[in-house]
A and B are shown apart, each in its own frame.
Chain A
Amino acid sequence: MSAFTYLDHAATTPMRPEAVDAMLPFLSERFANPSGSHRFAREARTAVDDAREVVAEVLGAAPGEVVFTSGGTEGDNTAVLGTVARRGGTAVCPAAEHHAVLAPVEHVHGVVVASTPLGTVDLDALAQVLRDRPDVSVVSVMAVNNEVGSITDLAALAAVVREWAPQAVLHTDAVQAPCWLDLRTITPLVDLLSLSAHKFGGPKGVGVLVARQGVAYEPMVIGGGQERERRSGTHNVAGIVALAEALRATDADRPSELPRLTALRDRLVDTLMAELPGVHETVPRAHKVAGSAHLCIEGIENEALLFLLDEAGVCASAASACAAGAMEPSHVLAAMGVPRELGLGALRLTLGRTTTDADVDRGADAVVTAVQRLRRGRS
């Protein structure tokens, strides 16, 4: 039994042992730069190309469409800024998007469209913008919301974008998707797709931007011309190898993990709602991924709740933290129309590969005890 209960898999995941094993040789004896021309370099180059094929297979893409990056934020930034730099025009995203997309869209004076109470894009509002703005060059919509776990209907989204803005590039931030959705069903719908390895058992600091055949953007990092001039910089060989192994294993485990984690999540949420009055599920379970529980708890402040959970050895999360590390009122909940007062009691518990029955028991116990204590203290 571990000393703490980790219910924060949407923030980051523990690395898969097979991914650690895969990367270690490239941190020691197989250290070569894959762009070199000697045998060690060729060996490293082979590892990168093998990884690219594995990733392409899981994504349902061609190997040449896989660009390795430093992570989700780079992929998201490149999709928005790189497309606007190449083609001009207007960038569009919904209000509940991750800041890695929202900030670059605002940076290029793009349009932020409304989100629904589920945290997904309002397709009518989007269609309206696309009709009004013939210069839209990139639309970016996340596949799974990082905060509340809601799933975007990407097929419906793609239909709207292709109908009203056939000229636009469609990007999806799929950073939260790999553990829960078969990426082969998503990739064919979009032009650009970004992933981050540490969200699915890989290391931090490495990711993927899928750029479908014929979709060109201005590279954000230029120099040595690696990744077919789409992303310069010496390859993070160990990270890339580990990313591929983690993605392969995640994809292989998904069919058995989905029902297991759905049952655990349901038990966690059902227990909390049965034992505590005034607890609201932010998004109905039918609309969200299996591992995500997001609740708004009346009569408490989540800063205080997180402290008590931390003391009890439970790692959970609320909204995103600001640069100083303080809890910020969530822009996602605001975009969904959740009242600010209720949003102060937002709690995100996210499950993953290492979550056990015992974790759910301890997590539920700790939340119930802490909420009861905080409510007693206030009355």
Chain B
Amino acid sequence: MALSGGVDSSVAAAELLHAGHEVVGITMRLWGGDSDTGCCSVADVDDARRVAQQLGIDHLVFNFTDDFHEHVVDPYVQAHRDGITPNPCIECNRHLKFHRLSERADLLGFDAVATGHHARIVQHDGVWRVARGHDPQKDQSYVVHMLPQRELARTLFPIGHLTKAEVRERATALKLRTAAKPDSQDVCFITSTGGRTEFLGTRIPFRRARVVDAVDGTELGEAESLEMITLGQRRGIGLPGGGPKRYVVGIDHATATVRVGDESMLDVDTMRVGDMVWSHEPLEGEVRVQCSAHGATNVATASVVDGEVRLAWHSPQRRVAPGQSVVLYDLTDTFVLGGGIAR
């Protein structure tokens, strides 16, 4: 059981025990640098350990800081350098929780790895699927979309059938010290005081960007740091207030140019998705597509072209920033078919 020190994984461990499993709590130490919000501060490890003690299970801390750097932090920095908007929490799930940890669990003779995600694992037509969690507000199927059959068969999400309110009720009933702990929201290696700018600013050189009108090419101003700008962004691009709302509709990394225009210029009819991981096997046809952690889904027709997935939207959709995860669900919007990275 991956114990982060939060309320979800605390209750998940209790649920597993209740179901009769033999449970060992593992906290992964991932980030050695400054942190104030994340899942691996010493205070959070203390909470995880105390919960394990309260539940009467063993608790261990595994040091995966090297892997975290290699698979999450370094690619995060490199992506910004390349003008891409990455999702580090998804990469952490992919490489740490559902790879490094499950590999270690195998080696040590565990049958399954459990986490406190709000998602469910179901069998549908004899195939394992990640299904949406019971609580629509908290559903995390998007961030665990990358689980293939082999992992799905031995992964458990013990609180996927509960709402967040029910999770907190159970934690309170069990007198767990995490019962009232606020949810973590942010990227664990970015401090709330310094933010993304400080983190990236000490690791990569920022380039000044020319801001131009997307229609006629008129020079409108200059932005501090090209690497901090994301497609669809409206604030912080060095434009004076008032006037019509202008959005970033294009970023040319080579020439350090940011093109701005009105919102409709962000709309597209198609998009490409690379690095696709299918839950079972590749599928084509009508699907529902989710492009952010708590975003709405929209219908598209998927086709596989040259190893990439091409999505044709049924109605024009806002362009997705390259680097973001794009997750395909079945048409009833119940379970994940697969997911990849927006190109």
Contact = CB atoms under 8 A, between A and B. Distances in A.
A and B interact:
yes
B63 A378 contact: no
B62 A303 contact: yes
B29 A322 contact: yes
A304 B108 contact: yes
A377 B105 CA distance: 11
B106 interface: yes
Contacts of B45: 324-325
Interface in A335-379: 373-374, 377-378
A326 B107 contact: no
Contacts of A321: 61
A326 B106 contact: no
Contacts of A327: 63
A111 B106 CA distance: 45
A100 interface: no
Interface in B69-117: 104, 106-108
Contacts, number: 37
A325 B61 contact: yes
A326 B62 contact: yes
A307 interface: yes
A308 B104 CA distance: 12
A323 interface: yes
A327 B63 CA distance: 6
B61 A324 contact: yes
B49 A377 contact: no
B115 to A, nearest CB: 18
B40 interface: yes
Nearest to B66: A329
Interface in B26-71: 27, 29, 40, 42, 45, 49, 60-63, 65
Interface residues of A, number: 16
A328 interface: yes
Contacts of B107: 304, 373-374, 377-378
B42 A324 contact: yes
B61 A326 contact: yes
Counting chain A CB atoms within 10 Å of each CB, the highest count among B61, B65, B106, B107 belongs to B107
Given A303-B62, A303-B63, A307-B60, A325 B49 contact: yes
A353 B13 CA distance: 40
B63 A326 contact: yes
A23 B42 CA distance: 35
B1 to A, nearest CB: 14
Nearest to A300: B107
Contacts of B106: 377
Contacts of A303: 60, 62-63, 104
A324 B104 contact: no
A58 B191 CA distance: 53
Contacts of B108: 304, 307-308
Contacts of A323: 42
Nearest to B49: A325
A304 B61 contact: no
A304 B40 contact: no
A378 B27 CA distance: 22
A324 B65 CA distance: 12
B101 to A, nearest CB: 12
Contacts of A377: 106-107
Contacts of A307: 60, 108
A344 to B, nearest CB: 9
B107 to A, nearest CB: 4
Contacts of A324: 27, 29, 40, 42, 45, 61
Contacts of B63: 303, 322, 326-328
A326 B27 CA distance: 9
Contacts of B40: 324
Interface in A315-335: 321-328
B28 to A, nearest CB: 8
Contacts of B61: 321, 324-326
Nearest to B24: A307
Contacts of A378: 107
A163 B29 CA distance: 47
A321 B61 CA distance: 10
A215 B315 CA distance: 84
Nearest to A375: B107
A303 B100 CA distance: 13
Contacts of A325: 27, 45, 49, 60-61
Given A324-B40, A325-B45, 7 more contacts: A307-B108, A308-B108, A324-B42, A325-B27, A325-B61, A326-B62, A373-B107
Interface of A: 303-304, 307-308, 321-328, 373-374, 377-378
Interface of B: 27, 29, 40, 42, 45, 49, 60-63, 65, 104, 106-108
Query: Top 6 A-B pairs ranked by shortest CB distance?
Result: A326-B63, A326-B29, A325-B61, A326-B61, A324-B45, A377-B107
20 contacts: A303-B62, A304-B104, A304-B107, A304-B108, A308-B108, A321-B61, A324-B27, A324-B40, A324-B45, A324-B61, A325-B27, A325-B45, A325-B60, A326-B29, A326-B62, A326-B65, A327-B63, A328-B63, A373-B107, A377-B107
